Structure 1
Amino acid sequence: MGITADVLDDVRTQIDADPDALGGARNRLRLVRDASAGLYGRLRTYASGSLAAHTMINPVSDGDGGVVLDRRFYPALGPEGRDEPPFEIVAELCDLIGPLVREQYPNARIYTSKRGPKVTFGAPVNNQNPTVDLVVALTRKEGGGLWIPNLKKNTWEPSDPEGHVALLNSVGSSPRSIRRKVIRLAKAWNMQFVFPGVSSFQLSVWAHEFVEQGMGVPVGLHALFSGAASRLESHQATPDPLGVSANLKLLRPADDVRRRLRKAADALAEALENDTDESDVYAALNRVFWNYVDSEKSRGLAAAAQSLSRRQPVAAAALGLSGITATIPPTRSYGG
C-alpha cells in the first residue's frame, strides 16, 4: 500500500459515519416504513439511498425509503390512470404516520419534501439528528420501475429507486467494497464546496461506470474524477443506468463541475505519480481534500528536507519522528 492509499485511508477515518447515528437512522426509517402499514393499497416498502447502498458519511443526515402502492387499488392515480396528482395521497400518508411515530418520538414533526413525507424526530444521537424521507411510489403498468411524485409540480415521474440500490450492491464483495469507499470519498470531496455540484446518486452512478474490478481505492477515485470530467468536457449527459428516468442533472453549471472534477483528477494523478514522496502526496491531496488533509505537513516535511540538503542539523520531531528527542545530523556524500 502506497502513501496515497494511506492518506486516503486517514480521510475515510475522518468521514466515517458515526455508528450510533447510523443505527439510529436505520431504526427511524424502519419505524416510518412500519407506520405506513395501514395505508390502503400498500404493496411493500423499501430502503434506498446512501443508507441502503452503504455509502453514508458523517454527519448522518437522513434515511431514505419508500412505500409502494398497488396501482390496481388507485386506478385514477398517475399517468397510466386518470392522471390524478399525488398531493392528496401524500397528505393522507402524513396524517397516518404522524401519530404513530410520535408514540416513540413525541417531538417528531411531519412535513413534505419533493417526493413525499419528511419526518424530523427532535431526538439527537451524538449531536446528529437523522431525518427520514419516504417516497410515495406507484407501480407502473408498462415499463420498469415506479411512478414517484414531484410535489413541486404535483405530477408523477418515472424512477427505479429499488433497482438503483440493487445495481450498486450487485457486484462481488471485494469490488463492491472498493466502490463504496470511492463513493464515500467522492461525497466528502463534493460536500466541501459551499454549493456542491453533484448529487450523491450521480457520484454513485459514476463510480458504477468508471471504477473497474482490480482497481484499488486511489486508482478508482482517480478513475471516477477523470471519467466524469472527460464526459462533461465532451458535453455528454449521464443517463439513468436503468433507463427508467431522465438523464441525471448536475446541481451547478456544467463548466463549474467540470473544472472541479478535472482539478481533483489532476491532483490525484500527481499524488499517484509521486507515491513514495510523502510531502508531494500531502500537497497534492490537500487540493482534493482541503478539509481533511493538512497541507502544513507537506510544508514541514519539505522544510526539513531542505534543511538536510543544506547540511544543517534537524530535530527528529521535524521529520515526524514523535517521541525521539535527538538531533539528526545531515548526511554527507563521500569525500565531503
Structure 2
Amino acid sequence: MGTTADMLAAIRKQIDAEAEPLTAVRTRLALVRKVAIGYEGARRTYASGSLAVHTMNHPVTDGDSGLVLDRRCYPQLGPEGGGEHPQEVVDDLCKFLGPLVREEYPKARVCTSKRGPKFYFGSPINGQDPTVDMVVALTRREGNGLWIPNLNKNTWEPSDPEGHVTLLNSGTASHRAIRRKIIRLAKAWNKQFDKPGVSSFMLSVWAYEFVEPGMGVADGLRTLFVKAAARLKAHQATPDPAEVSANLKPLLPAENVQRRLQKAGDALEEALLADGDEDSVAAALGRVFWKYVDNPKTNQLAAAVQLLSGRSAVPTTALGVAGPAVLIPPTRSYGDVS
C-alpha cells in the first residue's frame, strides 16, 4: 500500500469498535427481537442500521431493529387502514417489552425515540452502554417498504430499512469490504465537527452510489467527498436508493456541507499526489482527520513556540527557517523583569 492508504488504515484502527461492547449490543439486540416477536400481532423482526451493515465505529452506541405488525390484527393502524396514529401502539409495546427485558437486565428502562421503543440497559462495558432502538412498522399495501412512525408528528412515513440493509450489503466481497471501510472513515470525519453536517445514513448512500468496484480506500473516499460536494453545489437531490422514502437532506445548510466536503476532497487529492512523502501526506490528511492524524507542520510550529518561550536565544535553523543562521532573542511578557 502507499503512504496515504497506510495512514488511512491507521485511522481505521483508531475508530475500530471494541469487541466487548460490540458483542454486548448484538446480544441486547437479539434479546429485544426475541421478546418482541411475542407481542400480539407481531409478524417478524429485523435488524438495521450500522450494526447490520458492518459500519459501526467506536464508541458502540446503539443497535437498530424493527418489529413488523400483522395488519390483520391492527386494521385501524396507518394511512392504509383506519388512519390510526402510532403513539398508542408504541406505548403499549413499551409496556409489554419493559418487564421482559428487565428479566435479563434488571436496570433496563424503556422510553421512546422518534420511531418506537428505545431501551437503556444500565450495564456499561468499557465505558460504553449501547442502547437498542426498535421501529414499529406496518407493511404497505401499495408499493415497497414499510410504514414507520414519526412520533414527533404522530404520523406514519414510508421507508424501507430492510431494503437499505440489502443494498448496502450487496456486491462482491471485496467491493463490500472497501465500501464499509470508506463509510467508517467518512463517518469518523463527519463526527469530528461540533455539528455534523449529514447523517451517517446519507454518507452510506453516497458511498453506495459513488464508490465503484476496483477503487481503493483512499481513492474511493476522495471520490465520495468530491462527488457529494458537486451534487450539493449543483442543488441536486440525493434520492432514497430503495425508492420508498423522501429524498435525503443534510443536517446543516447545503452550502456549509458542500464546503466541508470539497475541502476534504481537495486534501485527499493532495495526499494522493504526494503519496510517498510521509510528511506531506500527514499534513494533507491532518486537515481531514485532525483528531486522528498529527500534522507535522502544526507540530513544528508548536515546537517553535516552545523554543521561543525559553530564556535563551534560539537559532533560526531550529525553527525551520531557511537562510543564514540568526539568533532570535526570547520573547518577554509585559512586566517581566530580568
Query: TM-score scaled by structure 1?
Result: 0.89
Structure 1 contact 145–159 (Cα < 8 Å) conserved: yes
Partner of residue 313, structure 2:
none
CA spacing shift, 1:141–1:263, aligned 2, 3 Å: same
How many residue pairs match? The answer is 312
1:21 counterpart letter in structure 2: P
Structure 1 contact 71–140 (Cα < 8 Å) conserved: no
- Residues 226-265 of structure 1 aligned to structure 2 (within 5 Å): 226-265=226-265
**Residue 145 of structure 2 corresponds to residue 137 of structure 1:** no
Supply the RMSD in Å over aligned alpha carbons.
Answer: 2.1
**Residue 111 of structure 2 corresponds to residue 126 of structure 1:** no
Structure 2 contact 279–296 (Cα < 8 Å) conserved: no
Secondary structure in 1 aligned to 2:158? strand
Secondary structure in 2 aligned to 1:44? strand
CA spacing shift, 1:297–1:20, aligned 2, 3 Å: farther
Secondary structure in 2 aligned to 1:237? coil
Partner of residue 209, structure 1:
209
> Residue 40 of structure 1: CA displacement?
1.3
Stretches of 4+ aligned residues off by more than 6 angstroms: 303-307, 309-312
Counterpart-to-counterpart distance in 2, 1:173 and 1:299: 40
| Per-residue Cα deviation, 1:76-99 (whole angstroms, up to 9, x for no partner) | 110001110001110111011100
Partner of residue 40, structure 2:
40
Structure 2 contact 150–156 (Cα < 8 Å) conserved: yes
Partner of residue 283, structure 2:
283
| Per-residue Cα deviation, 1:147-204 (whole angstroms, up to 9, x for no partner) | 0000000000000000000000011100000000000000000000001011011000
> Residue 250 of structure 1: CA displacement?
1.0
Secondary structure in 1 aligned to 2:288? coil
Counterpart-to-counterpart distance in 1, 2:70 and 2:262: 45
5+ long unaligned stretches in structure 2: 305-316, 326-338
Identity of aligned residues (%): 65
**Residue 117 of structure 2 corresponds to residue 117 of structure 1:** yes
CA spacing shift, 1:273–1:169, aligned 2, 3 Å: same
Counterpart-to-counterpart distance in 2, 1:160 and 1:31: 23
Counterpart-to-counterpart distance in 1, 2:318 and 2:169: 46
Counterpart-to-counterpart distance in 2, 1:24 and 1:63: 10
Partner of residue 30, structure 2:
30
5+ long unaligned stretches in structure 1: 313-336
Counterpart-to-counterpart distance in 2, 1:311 and 1:243: 66
Counterpart-to-counterpart distance in 2, 1:212 and 1:298: 35
Counterpart-to-counterpart distance in 2, 1:310 and 1:30: 66
Query: TM-score scaled by structure 2?
Result: 0.89
Structure 2 contact 37–67 (Cα < 8 Å) conserved: no
Structure 1 contact 3–281 (Cα < 8 Å) conserved: yes
